[in-house]
Chains A and B, each alone.
Chain A
Amino acid sequence: MTSLPVDWLEKDRRKLRVDASAFSDKVYEALTAACALVVPALVIAIALSIFAAAWPAFAKLGLSIITTSNWDVSGGHFGAAPALFGTLVSSTVALIIATPLAIGVAIFLSEFSPSWLRQPVGFLVDLLAAIPSVVYGLWGIFVLIPLLRQHVMPFLRDTLHLGATPFFSGPAYGPSMLAAGVILAIMALPYISAVSREVLMAVPRSQREAALALGATRWEMIRDAVIPYARSGIIGGIMLGLGRALGETMAVTMVIGNRLEISASLLSPGYTMASLIANEFSEATNDLHLSALMAVGAILFIITLIVNAVARWLVWSVARRRAQ
């Protein structure tokens, strides 16, 4: 520790202030730098340990982990293609349902809502993010699945004749890719909506007034002046929601039916990578089985990295287009 000069009272007070603030600045800088370095170090450590644990499976099975669909623990086959497929499909279904709904909520709250309604509705939508996923899963089993099985699935398949397409064919048991997609949509919705609402509110007033001054209707103003301005932020919100959907485990496991099979029909059961790990990890004693589950985790990790990279690229390219 550096000792302060004894005769500091007689010396230049201003210099002391500069010294003291320079010292506290340094401490502050070091603290924040430590925080900033710990997080990337943690991500790298997690990635390294997952890949190290997954290595025996990659070395033995190669890419057959994601290209084949025979997952048979006692036979030593670990093909997780159906889980990869299920992760991508359930998340896509979730985004297809959640995105319009979430952006609709955000536009209403930022553009149309009377101010007394804005707070409570916004609060309730945000609250969706605070519900534990196991509660979503229970709600899924006892409310959503019976509703889907008795009303929604027959309606889609028979009343709308979508059963003629491969996407809604086959028997409707309830637990299905569709059920997983709907649960994930509800879970991803608050993320997309909260981010979209904030960026829409941040659009400058002048932008709106300029559009209205040119004779735009309210709808044209939102479509042509507000949304393009907020587009990169909204895409960021969607990607955040997608990240939530890709990694969600508990609620999906409880409603997806856990069947390792690739089926085009959204009414048939499926599996996701996160569910596969959650289901099998605690009872896995065989080394290759454990390593294969780690490999599934590593692949999930890579997928989320790709999603984040794509999101960055989209946000960046949208921002650049606007700048031109």
Chain B
Amino acid sequence: MRALKLAALMLLAVACAKEGANNSGTASSTAASASSGGSVDLTGAGATFPYPLYSKWFSVYASKTGVKINYQSIGSGGGIRQLSEGTVDFGASDSPMSDEEMSKAKGGPILHIPTVLGAVVITYNVPGLTVPLNLTGKAIADIFSGRITKWSDTRVTSLNPGVKLPATDILVVHRSDGSGTSYIFTDYLTNAVPAWATSVGKGKEVKWPVGLGAKGNEGVAGQVQQTPGAIGYVELAYAKQNNLPSAAVENKAGKRVLPSVASATAAAAGAAQALPANTDYRISIVNAPGADSYPISSFTWILVYRHQTDAAKGKKLIDFLNWALTEGEAEASSLDYAPLPSSMASSVKARLTTIDLSGAK
């Protein structure tokens, strides 16, 4: 019986070895055509908002270079946690890391690499309204804090001359789940309206004074579309793809701008002018200067350690980011993401050279 067992074990071992040999054979043959072998080269985790674009980038990049990148869209918070623990090669986030979060990262200093821009759209359901609603930061803050409760309030009608707004109640719909979208939206209101800064503030989840919470862009959009008199906020890409009504928001220059890929890029260009040369790009671009800037815009970032511990991986990561900031940017607008202004893309690329591979094994 024992002999039988031994024989079985040996057979198994032989089979495994053969299998292994086969695998390494196929791997080396693919490696010949691509720059490297192996199943997955880089792993990342984080924000869900840029995931559709990132997954396109990763698949295009893999077909061009053979470098495979596995990305889990578990949310910005999860991405920051995983990068801090060192379980992934890069993180991704819709809001910049705080100094406290940066200090807890186990792998040392972290670089923020802006990739594309997102914008938050104010969407609404006002029966009979055919032209885009005009709003200012003050009016949005008053609506979302319950100071304006009717569509016929003069603080709304005065912004929309020639439009008949109904005397119905406004139902505010906000995100219930922690999200970068809420962060950008409240960051804008905090920046533009002093009263909002002291009462509610900014965050991925805040204590909303009024309204209903709905889960995800689809939850907010669904609730707004179903309820006459409702107002809410969603991502630009989501609003575009679903043709949601979008309000024009007054920017810092006093112009009313509709949300679009171009107006979000314009906001980044406007904000770039005021950037110091040594910026770490942990910057908010809400309420940016510039006549064409859409005020509720923000970067989304890929987060990487400055000191890479694995030279081969670090090299692949830098190569990918360089590609993303060049060819990747060109793909962005077809998926309704706003690309970085080209001058900013090149200064971010210059920043990639500061990634340090010297301490790597």
Query: Which residues of A come within 8 Å of B, CB atoms?
Result: 1, 70-75, 141-142, 145-146, 149, 171, 173-175, 253-254, 257-260, 269, 271, 275, 278-285
Contacts and interface: CB of A to CB of B under 8 A. Distances in A.
Nearest to A73: B205
Interface stretch (B76-84, B134-142, B278-286, B336-344): B76-84
Interface in B75-116: 75-78, 80-81, 101
A175 B214 contact: yes
A229 B74 CA distance: 51
Nearest to B215: A253
A282 B77 contact: yes
Nearest to A287: B104
Contacts of B227: 149, 173-174
A139 B290 CA distance: 45
Contacts of A275: 176
A259 B213 contact: yes
Contacts of B208: 259
Contacts, number: 90
B202 interface: yes
B171 interface: yes
Interface string B190-222: 000000000001111111100111110001001
Nearest to A71: B207
A281 B219 CA distance: 18
30 contacts: A70-B207, A71-B207, A72-B206, A73-B203, A73-B204, A75-B207, A141-B219, A141-B226, A142-B222, A145-B226, A146-B226, A149-B227, A174-B227, A253-B215, A254-B215, A254-B219, A259-B211, A260-B207, A279-B176, A279-B177, A279-B205, A279-B215, A280-B205, A281-B178, A282-B75, A282-B77, A282-B178, A283-B76, A283-B177, A285-B77
Contact of A258 (B75, B76, B214, B226): B214
B201 A285 contact: no
B178 A283 contact: yes
B213 A141 contact: no
A258 B208 CA distance: 11
Given A171-B169, A271-B213, A275-B176, 17 more contacts: A72-B206, A74-B203, A75-B201, A141-B226, A173-B212, A174-B226, A253-B215, A257-B212, A257-B213, A258-B176, A258-B213, A258-B214, A269-B212, A279-B177, A282-B75, A282-B178, A285-B101
Which of B2, B176, B215, B222 is the most central at the interface, judged by chain A CB atoms within 10 Å of its CB?
B176
Contacts of A71: 207
A128 B348 CA distance: 54
B263 interface: no
